[in-house]
Structure 1
């Protein structure tokens, strides 16, 4: 019976070492999580900010229409926005970095989406 107990303990220890070495050599990678409620006020304000900041940087005069899809990864928001240049509506993709507690928002990029 002691041999059986030793075998179980050895197997448990070996399993723990294997799991630990796998976990440290392959840490989980971050990924985009879909925003379920893009109509949320905070998400809407992020999309409006992206359009306004793009206009400021480029001199364009896009007008925000709506956000139709969004993803979040930590402090980064990947937003799919519809906006118009007063001639036709077009789809755009923008990424906004936000540090809420420091009241920082930065437009990482804004481009035409397919």
Structure 2
């Protein structure tokens, strides 16, 4: 699988269990631990891609699993630039963020929103409820965001917002919903579009 644009082509790494790929994943974890004073332990590379910038420079995008001090397994997206020059290999980690892989498209990595009370995130959630009401002639009242994730695409400039939120219906029932909103950055303004809005059933 490859992710292709007019300017670049990401090519999937077919075997992520080779010592070379594993070393890149371990390097990213070691670099993070050193910089943040953390003690994550590398577990494995789930999937990965590479982009050839030039003959001596390659960018890697790896989805890895690590184990934290509580024994929890966490998924991270790692971006590393590998520069081979003067007989030496220089590895520079430019991104190390937690999240999860989209169930339908492994290229889409959802990054956790750390502050769901941030005004723009609240604006997205309120838009989702209002747009749902408009489309379905419903009367939900927005309450809050429980948690959320986002995915950024640069070509075209789009941000996808996946929000797990609470709203109250006309009977007074408080239910949880998943909203997916596409934000297109068309200067001078941003255009929002509700992709889906579904109730999250309670697990008994």
**TM score, norm. by length of structure 1:** 0.75
Is residue 119 of structure 2 the alignment partner of residue 41 of structure 1? yes
Is residue 149 of structure 2 the alignment partner of residue 71 of structure 1? yes
Runs of 5+ consecutive residues of structure 2 not aligned to the other structure: 1-9, 14-48, 50-60, 62-106, 153-158
Is residue 84 of structure 2 the alignment partner of residue 97 of structure 1? no
Alpha-carbon separation, structure 2, partners of 1:107 and 1:25: 31
Alpha-carbon separation, structure 2, partners of 1:70 and 1:59: 25
Aligned to 2:88: none
Alpha-carbon separation, structure 2, partners of 1:67 and 1:34: 13
Q: Which runs of 4+ in 1 moved over 6 A?
A: none
Runs of 5+ consecutive residues of structure 1 not aligned to the other structure: 1-22
Instruction: Give CA-to-partner distance per residue, 1:30-67, whole Å, 9 cap, x none.
Output: 30000000000000010000000000000000000001
**Greater per-residue strand proportion:** 2
Shift of 1:68: 1.0
**TM score, norm. by length of structure 2:** 0.43
Work out the number of aligned pairs and report it. 92
Higher relative contact order (CA 8 A, sep 6+): 1
Structure 1 vs Structure 2 CA RMSD = 1.5
Aligned to 2:11: 24
Aligned to 2:85: none
Q: Which has the larger radius of gyration?
A: 1
Alpha-carbon separation, structure 2, partners of 1:34 and 1:77: 10
Aligned to 1:110: 197
Shift of 1:101: 3.9
Alpha-carbon separation, structure 1, partners of 2:185 and 2:114: 20
